[in-house]
Chain A
Amino acid sequence: MDSAILAPIIGGVLIGLGASALMLFNGKIAGVSGIFGGLLHPKAGDFAWRAAFVAGIIVGGFVLFLLRPDMFGVGVERSLPVVVLGGLLVGFGARLGSGCTSGHGVCGIARLGPRSIVATLTFIATGAVAAFVVNQVFGGVA
């Protein structure tokens, strides 16, 4: 099979296996924004596993960046104010909406949770609006 389709499928399978393993071992939904966000306001007994999970993602990124730097990079042209705005909206929205792409988009849909299905369709729709404005109105530079 063509690696253009094989790589995303392998990636998706790994994400699914990770999410499944977190449920099997820790009994938790692998929602990265929720797990990360919980580190900002730690509760007793609920910090270490979150920190270990986040550290695993970061360390995994470092290892893979050494092996395959071509798989990383920022290939979009965005000014720093737009970058800050993007981060603000993602951080605020993920907390208000109780989840992001991993929690709602993968785990929640896999559980057929109506909230996650609605959330995923919603953020794909508004994401499409933002991408349309940036790419089609501003010519891909914002």
Chain B
Amino acid sequence: MKRLIAPFLIGLIMAGGFVFAGVTKPETIVGFLDFFGAWDGSVMAVMGAAVTVTFIMFRVILRKRQQPILEAKFSIPTRRDIDWRLLAGASTFGLGWGLIGFCPGPALASLATGATELYVWFGGLLGGMYAFRGFDRWLQARGIKRERGAKSTSRQTVSASASA
């Protein structure tokens, strides 16, 4: 049960973060991305603060602890290569992000609004995720190597008992 209470409470904190950050209003994101219009720099403050806290805390946590509190090991991505999937995926993500200003976290936190646009957007999001699944399988069927981006193999773990 503790394994579920912790991520639930953490989800609550993240929701609070998104709301304070103003990213539950898509105009904040679009304003940030519109460098040639009335630029809204507040997202820079959000990212700066979030990255600073995470940068410090991750180092402290990974230095002090051999394993997380509730799991056997830390799951940390180890890849460092820049491949076409990363570039094409990030490019595609950005186009959709700039088009309307929703990204997955703040959009989940905004479901409460009941806004039609949001639910329609989620339909698109689910469609896009399922479409990727099909695309990924199609690539594999054509023998295009599943690069190490596949979740099951990309996340090698840093663990005290590194038996894997």
Give every chain A residue within 8 A of B91 (Cβ-Cβ). 93, 97, 122-123, 126
Name the A residues within 8 Å of B94 (CB-CB).
Answer: 93, 122-130
* CB proximity of B125 to chain A, nearest CB, Å: 4
A100 touches B103 (CB 8 A): yes
Q: Is the interface of A mostly helix, strand, loop or mixed?
A: helix
The main secondary structure of chain B at its interface with chain A is helix
Whether, in the assembled complex, A52 has its beta carbon less than 8 Å from a beta carbon of chain B, the answer is: yes
Q: Are A98 and B89 in contact (CB under 8 A)?
A: yes
Q: How large is the interface on B (under 10, 10 to 19, 20 to 34, 35 or more residues)?
A: 35 or more
Chain A: how many interface residues by the 8 Å CB criterion?
111
Q: A8-B20, A93-B89, A126-B90 are in contact. Are A13 and B108 (CB under 8 A)?
A: no
Q: Beyond the given A59-B15, A91-B131, could you list 17 further A-B residue pairs with CB under 8 A, ordered by the A residue number?
A: A8-B22, A9-B45, A10-B49, A14-B20, A15-B18, A16-B49, A24-B61, A26-B6, A30-B10, A87-B128, A93-B92, A94-B93, A102-B104, A109-B47, A110-B58, A111-B58, A120-B90
What would 15 A/B residue contacts be, using CB atoms closer than 8 Å?
A: A12-B47, A13-B53, A24-B57, A25-B10, A29-B75, A36-B104, A71-B25, A88-B128, A92-B129, A92-B132, A93-B93, A94-B104, A109-B47, A110-B54, A132-B36
